[in-house]
Structure 1
Amino acid sequence: MLLPREKAHFVLAGTPLLLLDGAPVHESLPLLHAPDGEMPLCPGWSVAAMATMCVVDGPGDAGCLIPALGTSESDPATALASLADWSSAVERTGGAVVVSLPSLPENLAELDWPSILTGGGAHGGFVPTARP
């Protein structure tokens, strides 16, 4: 399934983070429970990150395609470079942390990470890079 770009947030941190907002794979991903901050592995899932798109693929028919560039970017060249950096980090790290929430606040700084990691309705965990 296609997830609109505005429903995905690519965060370049120590480990690349992909935040999903109301994704069609939300219920298919495992319930996220990481009270100590250690991200559990998402068995049977993989991520393929490219500068132009990202694929989160799960068991069976579960999965979504996320266009990396949207129509709201004020500077598409800068956005593309940022997503290329994120994709390279995913490759170097061997995957990304995927966190899916039923809905995200408009201001991502308002995310209550302690609540999210201990039963705040989040699904996901560490998703390894897809291997051919």
Structure 2
Amino acid sequence: MLLNPEKSLFIRGAIPVLLLADAPVHGALPVLTAPDGAVPRCEGWSIVPKLTLCVVDGPGEAGLVVPALAAPVIDSADGSSEPGNMADWCADAEHARGAIVLSLDQFPEVLDWDRLLGSGAARGGFLPSMS
């Protein structure tokens, strides 16, 4: 299924994050509980991070495609929310050998990682790269 790029946010970092809002795979992803910040691996799922399209592949028929080049990227490596570059996000994912995928009902107004990782509202985890 193709996800509207406005429902995705690519966040750069040592382990990059793909934040999804109202995604069709939300219910298929496991509930994420990582109050200590250690994000678990999402078994049965993988990600293919490419410059033009990013594929999130799950078990069975679960999965989606994000038109990555049209999606917003922010650089959180220094804590800022400066616009980022998709090629850099893909390089981050290649170096980390995957990415953290977090799915929410809707985007929060403020990215509070402690709240996102500890509230049980997010679904997902670390997805190994298949590229």
TM-score normalised by structure 2 residue count? 0.85
Give the deviation of 1:47 after TM superposition: 0.2
The question of 1:130 aligning with 2:130 is answered: yes
Give the deviation of 1:71 after TM superposition: 8.5
Distance across 2 between alignment mates of 1:13 and 1:130: 19
- Per the alignment, in what secondary structure is the counterpart of residue 43 of structure 1? coil
- The equivalent of 1:87 in structure 2 is 90
Unaligned 5+ runs, structure 2:
73-82
In the alignment, residue 91 of structure 1 is paired with which amino acid? E
- Per the alignment, in what secondary structure is the counterpart of residue 88 of structure 2? helix
In the alignment, residue 49 of structure 1 is paired with which amino acid? P
Identity among equivalent pairs (%): 49
- The equivalent of 2:105 in structure 1 is 102
- The equivalent of 2:114 in structure 1 is 114
Distance across 2 between alignment mates of 1:114 and 1:82: 25
Distance across 1 between alignment mates of 2:29 and 2:48: 16
Distance across 1 between alignment mates of 2:97 and 2:55: 14
* Count of equivalent residues: 121
Give the deviation of 1:6 after TM superposition: 0.7
CA deviation map 1:43-87 (0-9, x unaligned): 000000111010000000000000012289xxxxxx8x8111111
Distance across 2 between alignment mates of 1:45 and 1:69: 22
Give the deviation of 1:18 after TM superposition: 0.5
Distance across 1 between alignment mates of 2:68 and 2:40: 25
Distance across 2 between alignment mates of 1:112 and 1:10: 15
Q: Does the 8 A contact of 2:99 with 2:129 survive in 1?
A: yes
Distance across 2 between alignment mates of 1:11 and 1:123: 17
**CA root-mean-square deviation:** 1.9
Distance across 2 between alignment mates of 1:71 and 1:111: 17
